[in-house]
Amino acid sequence: MSVSKLAQNLHGSEIIKIAGEINELKRQGQNIANLTIGDFDSNIYPIPAQLKEGIIDAYEHNQTNYPPADGMLNLRESVSAFLKTRYELDYKPSQILISGGSRPLIYSTFLAVVDPGDKVIFPAPSWNNNHYSDLLTAAPIIIPTTPENNFMPTADDIRPHIKGATLLALCSPLNPTGTMFNKKDLEEICDLVIAENKSRAEGQKPLYLLYDQIYSQLTFGAHQHYNPVSLRPELKDYTIFIDGASKCFASTGVRVGWGFGPAHVIDNMKAIVGHMGAWSPKAEQVAMAKFLTNDTFVDGYLSELKGNIRASLNALYEGFSQMKAEGFAVDAIEPMGAIYLTIKIDYAGKTTPDGTVLKDSADINFYLIKEAKTAFVPFSAFGTGDEVNWFRASVGAITLQEIKEFLPRIKEALSKLK
């Protein structure tokens, strides 16, 4: 039977293909170090104890009916206060939308501002912007990025494509790289967006900025998170933020995300999310509203979570840096934020012990899965070409000890290539 053109044209997930390979090897009894998952193992990184207690209490008090379509008012009030305290961003509860995680917020942003054929600009690598563009039959403009700029786009990269564009989708800290905008680069992009909007005729659709900062509470060392509206307040009318609890509180399965931005866009997103039924569960909203108001609980949890994630990222970074110093064709970018390390494994064209030539990043990855019992995600899963031999390594579902154990296996597997 035939299906819609939309269904026919959607691309499959490379991450799902990798997961299939891993699951088959696990079925055979093999132990794979899985660094493919943009998630947390809840036995390693449980959610905050106070949040868990609040969720249980809410269920015990029968908070199980429909929540308001835009989110519980007390949660939107708590998020409003959280934004003011953590980012010095001033958004009223009416400008905040709660949904079941951040994914419906991103999709509803696209639906609220992008028409079929509209230009949508985003960098590669980045997460899922290509698929949302496909869903809307938009015209994606994919901006290649470079390791020299930590795979973050610059104003000069964006400038040739900005005329007539409807949406610029950015993320910092970035999934899949864990890298971040520095202040200067983000300011220059902000100024570019401002200038473009000033050049447009009255009544013409503006250029909107989707700014995904879901990982913004997970930054390390001297690296500081910046956002467009704090740097350039006049962008408040054009910026839609994507945020939530999934990453900063290791609460991916709790499904509480929040978006905020100009009222006329958020109001339309509320209607879209309402029709999708993509609400966050009521009990979780009740508990999150209470948890966010307790700075002691929030700060204590973030301090411990960040310390453990940073230790794992540093161990991975130091391991690849040591291999590079020993002459292996690998590299890594220092940990900055999120739960990801960007690593390079530049062995395309090399031959395995059984005579197979590794043609591209996917081949390299599957070789390491089989030979080193370790799995990463090539940047090709995030919009780059297969020839880009850089990978995402996620540490959210693996222990520090496991990282120390698989690094020698990587080294041994690479030593066998000719």
| Tens digit of each residue's pLDDT (9 = 90 or more) over 323-356 | 999 999 999 999 999 999 999 999 999 999 999 9
Predicted pLDDT at 164: 96
Q: Are residues 289 and 384 in the same domain?
A: no
Q: Which runs of E-coded beta strand occur in 261-389?
A: 330-333, 340-345, 374-375, 377-378
Vertex 290 angle, CA 273 and 46, to 5°:
85
Predicted pLDDT at 1: 58
What is the mean pLDDT of the segment spanning 387-398?
A: 97
Q: Are residues 274 and 139 in the same domain?
A: yes
| Confidence label for 15 from pLDDT (cuts 50, 70 and 90) | confident
For 20, 90, 98, 190, 376, the CA distances from 120, given in Å and listed in that order, are: 31, 27, 24, 16, 28
What is the mean pLDDT of the segment spanning 212-224?
A: 97
DSSP state of 384: S
pLDDT digits (tens, 9 = 90+) for 88-125: 999 999 999 999 999 999 999 999 999 999 999 999 99
- Are 386 and 363 in contact by the 8 Å Cβ rule? The answer is no
Angle at which helices 361-371 and 400-415 cross, to 10°:
110
CATH number for position 312: 3.90.1150.10
| Helices (H) then strands (E): counts for the chain | 14, 13
- By percentage, how much of the chain surpasses pLDDT 70? 100
- Quickly tell me which residue has 């949508």 as its tokens: 120
Which is nearest to 372 in space by CA: 396, 343, 338?
A: 343
Exposure b/e, 267-306, CB count within 10 A at least 16 = b: eebbebbbeeebbbbbbbbbbbbbbbebeebbeebeeebb
What is the number of domains present in the chain? 2
Q: Are residues 269 and 325 in the same domain?
A: no
In the listed set 294, 316, 335, which residue is the last one of a domain according to the structure? 294
pLDDT digits (tens, 9 = 90+) for 175-211: 999 999 999 999 999 999 999 999 999 999 999 999 9
In the listed set 273, 294, 315, which residue is the last one of a domain according to the structure? 294
pLDDT at 417 over 90: yes
Cis peptide before 125 (omega within 30 of 0): yes
22 vs 294, residue with greater confidence: 294
DSSP state of 337: B
Q: Which residues pair with 396 in a beta bridge?
A: none
In the listed set 294, 326, 349, which residue is the last one of a domain according to the structure? 294
- Are 170 and 153 in contact by the 8 Å Cβ rule? The answer is yes
Which is nearest to 167 in space by CA: 191, 193, 143?
A: 193
The Cα 113–Cα 96 span in angstroms is 17
| Confidence label for 14 from pLDDT (cuts 50, 70 and 90) | confident
Q: Are residues 138 and 236 in the same domain?
A: yes
Structural domain boundaries, residue 33: 5-45+300-415
DSSP for 106-154, please give it: HHHHHHHH--TT-EEEEEES-SSHHHHHHHTT-EEEEEE--GGGTT---
Ramachandran bin of 359, using left for φ above 0, alpha for ψ from -120 to 50, beta for the remaining angles:
alpha
Q: Are residues 310 and 173 in the same domain?
A: no
pLDDT at 135 over 90: yes
Q: Are residues 108 and 163 in the same domain?
A: yes
Q: Are residues 151 and 233 in the same domain?
A: yes
Q: Are residues 392 and 342 in the same domain?
A: yes
Predicted pLDDT at 25: 85
Cis peptide before 228 (omega within 30 of 0): no
DSSP state of 159: G
Q: Are residues 140 and 242 in the same domain?
A: yes
Instruction: Give the amino acid at 204.
Output: Q
Q: Are residues 287 and 405 in the same domain?
A: no
Q: Are residues 395 and 287 in the same domain?
A: no
pLDDT digits (tens, 9 = 90+) for 275-313: 999 999 999 999 999 999 999 999 999 999 999 999 999
Q: Are residues 290 and 306 in the same domain?
A: no
Torsion of CA 403, 407, 409, 412, to 10 degrees: 180
